[in-house]
Structures are given as C-alpha cells and as structure tokens.
Amino acid sequence: MGSISRRDLIATLLGASTATLSGCSKPQGHDFQGELLGQDSHHGHRLRESNFRPDSIHDWQDVPVVIVGGGIAGLSAAWRLKRRGFEDFVLLELESKLGGTSRSSNTGSFHYPWGAHYITTPLPSNTDLIELLMEMGVVDEIAPDGTPIVGEEYLCREPEERVFAGGKWHEGLFPESIASPDDIDQYAAFNQQIKYWSDAHDAQGKRFFDLPIANCSDDPQAQELDKISMSDWLGQQGWDSPVLKWFVDYACRDDYGLSIDRTSAWAGILYFAARLKNKDHMMQDVITWPSGNGHIVDYLSQQFESHIRTRFMVAKIRPSDLLGRDANCETVGLDLETQKWGGYRAKRVIWAGPQFVASRVIDGFRNGNPISSTPFRYGWWLVANVHLRDRPVELGESLCWDNVLYDSQSLGYVVSTHQSGIDHGPCVWTWYYPFADQQTKYSREQLLLVPWSDWAELVLTDLQRAHPKIRDLVTRIDVFRWGHAMVQPYPGFVWSQTRRDSVLPDRNVHFANTDLSGLALMEEAFYHGVRAADEILSVLS
C-alpha cells in the first residue's frame, strides 16, 4: 500500500478528465502558501492503544456535571444548563479550538468556516432553537403565527447561489438552461412529491419530515422510505433525468457527504421536505455568518467561558450503576498542556462526542454490546479556505454566496466574505469536498499521507473548471482534512432500533451528539444537547 500519486489522487477524486486541467505532468511552482490542518488524530488514536492508561491520579475534582465534547451538542447542553440556572458543570474538549465540525478561523477581518456554515430558519415548532437565536439577536421577533423574524444581516444575502454547467454560470442550483423539457418536467414532479411529503402528517398529527427528526412520525410508511436508497426511490418514481439526479445527488453530498445511491431515501427527502415553509412551500430562508456556524460556537462558548477546559483528553469514563442523585461517575483524562492526568467525579456526565469513541472511552459501554456503536459510520471531508488577492473577472451571473460546479465531485465553494458585504478586492472562498464514494479506493492511512501541496493542487484543479485563471489570484490555501466528519444516513440506519436506542442514557452517562440522529445537522446536535441537559436537570433538581 504505497502513497498516492498526485495525478492519481486528482483523477480519482475529480474525475479523469480533470487530469489535463492540473499541472500533473510537471511539478508546478506556486506563489501561495498554506498548511494542512486536521483534528487531533494523534491523540485521538492513542485512545486505541491498550497501554494508554492513567498513572495514579492525584488531581481529583468534584463537579456535579461533566460535559465531554465542545462541539455544538456539548455547547448547547451547557447553554441549556446555564439558561436554566444550573452552573455547576465543566465542559472538556480535546482540541485547542472549540466547535467540532462547526469551527471557524479568521485572518484579520476575514472570517471563514472550516465546516458547517449555515442553518435554515427554524419552523415555529422548533422553539428551543428559536429561543437561542433570539438570545443571540439573530431573531428579532416572533410573528403572531410563531414564525421567527430573522434580522436582515443574518439572512443569506442575494445573490445566493449559482451553478456552473455547460461552460456558464446559471442562477440557482438547478441548471435549467442545460436541462431538456423532460428534465424540467421531472424536476417539477419531484418538487410536487416533496411538497406532498412536506405536508404529510400521521394520525397523531406528527409530520413525516421535520427537524429535529425526533419530532418526525415513525409511521411505517415513512420507515419504508428509510429502507431504500435515494436513487432507488427516484427510480421507483420513474425519474431518470440526469439533471434531476445530479441535483438530488448534490443535495445528499451537501448535507450528508453521501452519494445518492448510498443515502437513505428518507434522509434524502428530509433534506428538502423538512425545509419547506408550511404556508407557501418555499424553502426556509438560509441563516449564515461569515464564519459559518462558528458564529454560534463563539456565541455559546462566551456564555460560560470559565467552565470550559480545552486540550483535555478524556481517556476513560467509569459510570456507576448507582443512579439518582448520589450517582458517581469518574471521568479521567490527560491535560495535553501539562501532560498531567486529572479526574472529575460527577453525578452525571454528558458524552457529547461521537459514538465510535464512546465505545472505547466508556467502561462497559452498553453492557459491552458491540452492536451499539458499530452501525455508526462516518465520512471523510476535505475543506479548503482559499485566499484570493482579487476576484476573477467574470461575465454573466455575479459571484454568489454558494457557487456550485455541476461536473464536479466537490460541492463548489462558499464565498465567506459575501455575508460581510465585501464585494471588491481580496476575499476568502471556502471549498468543500465530501468523500461520498471515493473513500473506498484509498485507505485512511494513505489519505493521511497526502501532503498539503497535493491537496492544494486538487482544490485549484477543481476551481479551474470555472475559473481558468484562478491560480494567479491565490495567495493562500489552507486545507482541513476531516477524518470522521459526518455520520452517514445510509439506508436502514436512521430508523434502526440501534440508532433510536442510542439516545438513551447508559447508567449515569447521557448522550448528546448529532450522530445520535444518524445525520449531521446543527439542528440535531443542538436538539440532543438540550435534551441531554434536560434529562440531567430533571434528575438533579
């Protein structure tokens, strides 16, 4: 198993035709810089080593609640506790930076995301999220019918999105100008179906598709959809339009990092149906910030900064079988700064990390039942922030917030400076690439060996499809390699009993993470954080 050549990497990840676009034949000089970033995989992988054990621990602290994990779920749990007047908690995070896959960075006045970068305006039923957004000042007021009124500067600024197809940019995401009348008919029929599912309720009045998905109906009709793939579902409807298939595939890759034939039809429909307004069936407005969902991370962490301990790697959690107020759960970890072990004795622990780590860290996790964590699968992602000294000269549709490439396996790029109203001169583009199918060809170890320069070349080669001269404008490309970025809603997983049971506490450990929903969305992470906090509040108060 050797290292991957640059040519092979680009041809595999972007398609063979792109080999001619890149400077594969000769090593290409570049006058930009950058670095390869990633999660702390070194420490993460040490957890697997059997000899990674604490020495005797002298530093024990008693704190009623320990939250492990500083992503959206853990931060939301802490927010809920504080908001309910409960401040006796500590939040532990392995990395030096909070946010998990919602983290962000800035260079001077330019802010940009490293992962999740928008949410859709919550429907009136999602009262907890509306409460947070009101507290943040993002929602100004609530209309009499419960609809949140979002501040203008937080709604995605027009022009919102465009797609590059057939050598030209087109407004919107569906490239109508390259679509045949049949493509357009099928697209209309597809939208009709989505409206049907968006309106569909069960006998109890629960919607078939809603966010958080805990509010969804578990009607057998809905569960049937989860058993097949999104491409099978399109086939069942008699839709074979390549443009429609691309459109739906793009949606699945965008939200789940999975191709259309590996995404559950239920999840695929959810992407669209859960986001239609009940009234006019228009898509819910997008809320975004220059730093993406990093803005939410920054806000939340500022509310309880003194409760947060970063660079602390939790190695072991020993729950006790004793429940109730006297329960005692030990959380042991290594301070990566001082390299000293420390421990917390808590009544309750919220595990806000992913399930695949929970099984290694929590003693006797789910009675040692391996079924409980193995079905959780996670996808690789690559995110690059491309700094430009100026914008490319373009004709036709002007640079949008979201810029999608029809022929590409990437998701295109988001102009992170768009929401700040910066329309001239230097800017930052955030480019996304989910390993939707490609993960199978290379091993994790091979991908970890790919150097920064090859990833940067991959990014440029992709952008060159639409911007032949982009290379001259680039001043910096930083690449973030996400190992276990997103849980994957493959067919049968979301409605599996294992997934549904994973939200239940294991002794005095409660769980909060978006993977408990089987799909990676800010709304789900937030829901689980709030839910886990509520579970604890009901026990402790």
Partner 1 sequence: MLNRVPLFLLYVNVLVIAVCGLIYELLAGTLASYMLGDSVTQFSLVIGTYLSAMGVGAWLSRYIQQQLAQAFVEIELALAFLGGFSAPLLFMAFPFVEWFRPLLLGLVFAVGVFVGLELPLLMRILKEHLDFSDLVSKVLAFDYVGALIASILFPLVFVPYLGLVRTSLVFGILNACVGLWSTFLLRPLLRPHHVLSLRIRAAIVLALLAAGFFQAAQMTRFGEESSLGGKIIHTVASPYQRIAVTSKRGGFQLYLNGHLQFNSTDEYRYHEALVHPALLGIDQPKRILVLGGGDGLAVREILRYPSIQRVVLVDLDPAMTDLSKSFPPLVALNGASLQDPRVEVINQDAFLWVNQSSELFDAVIIDFPDPGSFSIGKLYTTHFFRKLKDRISANTLVSIQCTSPLVAPQSYWCIVRTLEAAGFVVKPFHASVPSFGVWGYALASLSDIQIDANRLPPDGQLRFLNSKNLADLFTLPQDIRPQTPQINRLDNQSLVRYYDEEWHGID
Q: Which positions touch partner 1 (CB under 8 A)?
A: 152-153, 155-160, 285, 390, 393, 395, 398, 420-425, 468-469
Cis amide prior to 113 (ω within 30 degrees): no
Q: How many CB atoms lie within 10 A of CB 158?
A: 9
- Least Å distance, CB 158 to partner 1, is 4
Closer Cβ to partner 1, 199 or 397, answer by number = 397
Place of tokens 């024990």: 60
Distance CA 509, CA 347 (A): 9
Closer Cβ to partner 1, 151 or 483, answer by number = 151
Closer Cβ to partner 1, 155 or 189, answer by number = 155
Element (H, E) at 243: helix 242-256
Q: How many CB atoms lie within 10 A of CB 125?
A: 14
- Least Å distance, CB 125 to partner 1, is 22
Q: Closest Cα to residue 98, out of 236, 298, 259?
A: 298
- Least Å distance, CB 149 to partner 1, is 12
Record the tokens describing residue 41, joined without a space: 């995989």
Closer Cβ to partner 1, 40 or 397, answer by number = 397
Q: Torsion-angle region of residue 107: left (phi > 0), alpha (psi -120 to 50) or beta? A: beta
432 φ/ψ angles, rounded to the nearest 5 degrees: -120, 140
Element (H, E) at 77: helix 72-83
- Least Å distance, CB 384 to partner 1, is 23
- Least Å distance, CB 26 to partner 1, is 22
Closer Cβ to partner 1, 80 or 117, answer by number = 117
Element (H, E) at 312: strand 312-318
- Least Å distance, CB 65 to partner 1, is 39
Q: Torsion-angle region of residue 146: left (phi > 0), alpha (psi -120 to 50) or beta? A: left
Q: Is 452 helix (H, G, I), strand (E, B) or coil?
A: helix
- Least Å distance, CB 284 to partner 1, is 12
Closer Cβ to partner 1, 76 or 419, answer by number = 419
CA geometry: angle 25, 31, 37, nearest 5 deg: 90
Closer Cβ to partner 1, 350 or 474, answer by number = 474
Closer Cβ to partner 1, 402 or 506, answer by number = 402
- Least Å distance, CB 421 to partner 1, is 4
The secondary structure of 137-198 as a DSSP string is TSEEEE-TTS-EEE-GGGBPPSS-EEEEETTEEEESSS-GGG--HHHHHHHHHHHHHHHHHH
- Least Å distance, CB 63 to partner 1, is 41
Closer Cβ to partner 1, 48 or 424, answer by number = 424
